[in-house]
Amino acid sequence: MSNKPYRLAVSNQKGGVGKSTVALNIAGALGERGQNVLLVDLDPQGYLTSGVGLDDEYTTPSPNLNDALKAPGEHAVDDLVVAHEEFDVLPANIDMFSLEQELVSGMRGRERLSMLLEDVTGYDFLVVDCPPSLGLLTDNALLACENVLIPAEAEDTSIRAVELLFKQIDSLEDNFGASIQEEALVVSNVDYPLDGEQQGMLEWFDDTFSDRIPVFEIRSRAVIKRAFNAGHSIFGHDEECDQADELLRIADYFIEEQS
C-alpha cells in the first residue's frame, strides 16, 4: 500500500446525474479489487451518508466533517471515519449547509479539504462525492483530489454541464497553480433501447473525449438503486448486477493510474 492515497473527485455540478451512485459503486468496485478505500461525502444533503446507513452520523452535533473543514488543523480524519463492510466512510453532516458561506470569508476557503486530507494514510483510494453545484465545496474537492471522474447523463443538457465544469477546472488551475486531471467520464444511467437523444449524446461523448480520456457507460438498472437503498454498492449486495464488469473496468483503470 502506498503512503499517499490516490484521490478522486466524482464531480458534475448538474443535479441527479449519478454522482453519488457512481461514487458508491466505484468505491465498492475498488474494494472488490482488494483496495482500501475511504469514501468521503462532501454533499451537505448527505444522500450518500444516508444511503450507506449513517443517518445518525449525519445529524451528530460534533465533531463532524463540518467542524473539520472549518478548522482542518484541529481535527484528525481518523476520528471522524466510520467503518462500513466494503470501505470506510467520512460522512457528511447536516451542519455543512452553512459551510459554503463561511468558506467564502475564511482563510484558504478552497483548500480546507486539501489540508484535512493531507496526512491521511492507510488507504489506497479516497473517493469524494461532490455536491450538485460549482461552489466552494466542489472547488475544495477538485483542488484536494486533482483527479476527476465525471458522471454525466446521455442528455443534451450534459454538453453545457461538462463545458462549465471544464471551465471551472481551468480557472482553479490558473488561480491555484494546480494541475487537475479530467481522468474519465462515466455516462450514467443509460437506458436501452436508446432513443435519439441518448444515441446522439453517446456519440458526442465518444467524439469529444475518447481520444483523451476513457468514456465508460453504466446502464440503468433497478438493482443499482436497490443496492444503494440497502446501504451498499452492488458488490456488497445480495443480487447479481450485469453492470459489475463495467464498474470493475473503471476500478482497474484507476488502479492502473494510481500505480
Ligand X SMILES: Nc1ncnc2c1ncn2[C@@H]1O[C@H](COP(=O)(O)OP(=O)(O)OP(=O)(O)O)[C@@H](O)[C@H]1O
Give the span between the Cα atoms of 68 and 76, in whole angstroms. 8
**DSSP assignment string, 109-170:** TTSHHHHHHTT--S-SEEEEEPPSSSSHHHHHHHHHH-EEEEEEESSTHHHHHHHHHHHHHH
- Does 221 bind ligand X (CB under 6 A)? Our answer is yes
- Does 15 bind ligand X (CB under 6 A)? Our answer is yes
- Does 58 bind ligand X (CB under 6 A)? Our answer is no
225 touches which of ligand X, Mg ion, none (CB within 5 to 8 A by kind)? Answer: ligand X
162 touches which of Mg ion, ligand X, none (CB within 5 to 8 A by kind)? Answer: none
- Does 47 bind ligand X (CB under 6 A)? Our answer is yes
Which of 7/19 has CB closer to Mg ion? 19
Give the span between the Cα atoms of 116 and 99, in whole angstroms. 15
All three cell numbers of 79:
476520528
Give the DSSP H/E element, type plus range, for residue 68.
Answer: helix 65-70
Amino acid at 26: I
DSSP state of 14: S
Size of the site for Mg ion (CB under 5 A): 3
The residue within the footprint of ligand X, chosen from 7, 19, 112, 237 (CB under 6 A), is 19
- Does 141 bind ligand X (CB under 6 A)? Our answer is no
The residue within the footprint of Mg ion, chosen from 7, 19, 84, 237 (CB under 5 A), is 19
153: left (phi over 0), alpha (psi -120 to 50) or beta: beta
21 touches which of Mg ion, ligand X, none (CB within 5 to 8 A by kind)? Answer: ligand X
Residue 105 contacts by C-beta under 8 Å, 6 or more apart in sequence? none
Smallest distance from ligand X to CB 57, Å? 18
For the window 47-66, what string marks contact with Mg ion as x by the rule CB under 5 A?
A: x-------------------
Please report, as ranges, the residues that interact with ligand X according to CB under 6 A: 15-21, 43, 47, 132, 188-189, 218, 220-221, 224-225, 228
